[in-house]
């Protein structure tokens, strides 16, 4: 498999999984199907849009409309798929968290790769990786009036940071880009999965009087 094809597959998968999480939360908030498509599209494509604007390059989905279809499909899949677990306590929330974790692990690498591709400094490449992974979910949660996952004490952005940094470091050391991408995405997912499974979090300062 070529590196370009691998990155395309990862990008499509990231958009779909983030859009899926948007559709799930749209169902939880009792939005209609159109609302699910909107929330799914914002979630799936928001991070990449911000990334491209920061890197001063054409927004990727404007010239490749298949991303719109993938995001809409993901949003509707999450929305109607939620019916299958209706009544099962916590099932929707678990599905949302795990779909979001997959999207995060993919997009932190895609964003870092995009930064390196335009010749950005490695710090900027890592930053665009984190933004790509976190911004769509941030907007999603703001739209539906939830506290964004990235702002909670549980480990979220740090997983994206680790994945983006691992990719940049691996490429700078001469590792083949495809291998670096898969390894970095798996690292980000493992950290986020461990945080979900074992309740890892950063210590909050606590409520001040």
pLDDT tens digits, the chain, 209 residues: what are they?
Answer: 788 899 999 999 999 999 999 999 999 899 999 999 999 999 999 999 999 999 999 999 999 999 999 999 999 999 999 877 666 667 788 888 999 999 999 999 999 999 999 999 999 999 999 999 999 999 999 999 988 878 776 789 999 999 999 999 999 999 999 999 999 999 999 999 999 999 888 776 665 55
Residue-level pLDDT at 19 = 96
**193 is a domain residue:** yes
Residue 203 lies in a domain: no
Tally of structural domains, the chain: 1
Q: Is 207 among the domain residues?
A: no
Residues of 19-41 as b/e, b for ≥16 C-beta within 10 angstroms? bbbbbbbbbbeebeeebbbbbbb
The pTM of the full predicted model, rounded to 2 decimals, is 0.89
Q: Is 208 within the bounds of a domain?
A: no
Enter the tokens of residue 138. 């941030």
User: How much is the pLDDT for 88?
Assistant: 67
User: What domain range is 100 assigned to?
Assistant: 3-198
**Residue 52 in contact with residue 59, Cβ under 8 Å?**
yes
H/E run at residue 27: helix 3-28
- 159 occurs within a structural domain: yes
From the centroid of its chain, how far is CA 108?
Answer: 7
């Amino acid at each position: 498999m070529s590196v370009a094809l691998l990155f395309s597959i990862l990008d499509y998968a990231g958009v779909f999984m983030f859009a899926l999480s948007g559709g799930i939360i749209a169902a939880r908030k009792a939005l209609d199907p159109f609302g699910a498509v909107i929330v799914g599209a914002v979630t799936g494509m928001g991070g990449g849009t911000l990334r491209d604007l920061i890197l001063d390059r054409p927004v990727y989905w404007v010239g490749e409309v298949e991303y719109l279809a993938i995001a809409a499909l993901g949003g509707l899949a999450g929305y109607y798929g939620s019916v299958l677990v209706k009544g099962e306590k916590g099932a929707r929330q678990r599905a949302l968290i795990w779909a979001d974790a997959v999207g995060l692990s993919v997009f932190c690498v895609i964003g870092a790769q995009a930064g390196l591709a335009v010749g950005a400094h490695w710090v900027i490449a890592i930053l665009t990786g984190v933004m790509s992974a976190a911004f769509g979910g941030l907007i999603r949660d703001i739209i539906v009036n939830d506290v964004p996952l990235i702002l909670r004490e549980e480990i979220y952005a740090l997983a994206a940071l680790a994945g983006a940094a691992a990719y940049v470091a691996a490429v700078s050391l001469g590792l083949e880009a495809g291998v670096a991408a898969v390894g970095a995405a798996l690292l980000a997912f493992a950290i986020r999965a461990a945080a979900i499974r074992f309740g890892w979090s950063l210590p909050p300062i606590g409520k001040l009087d």
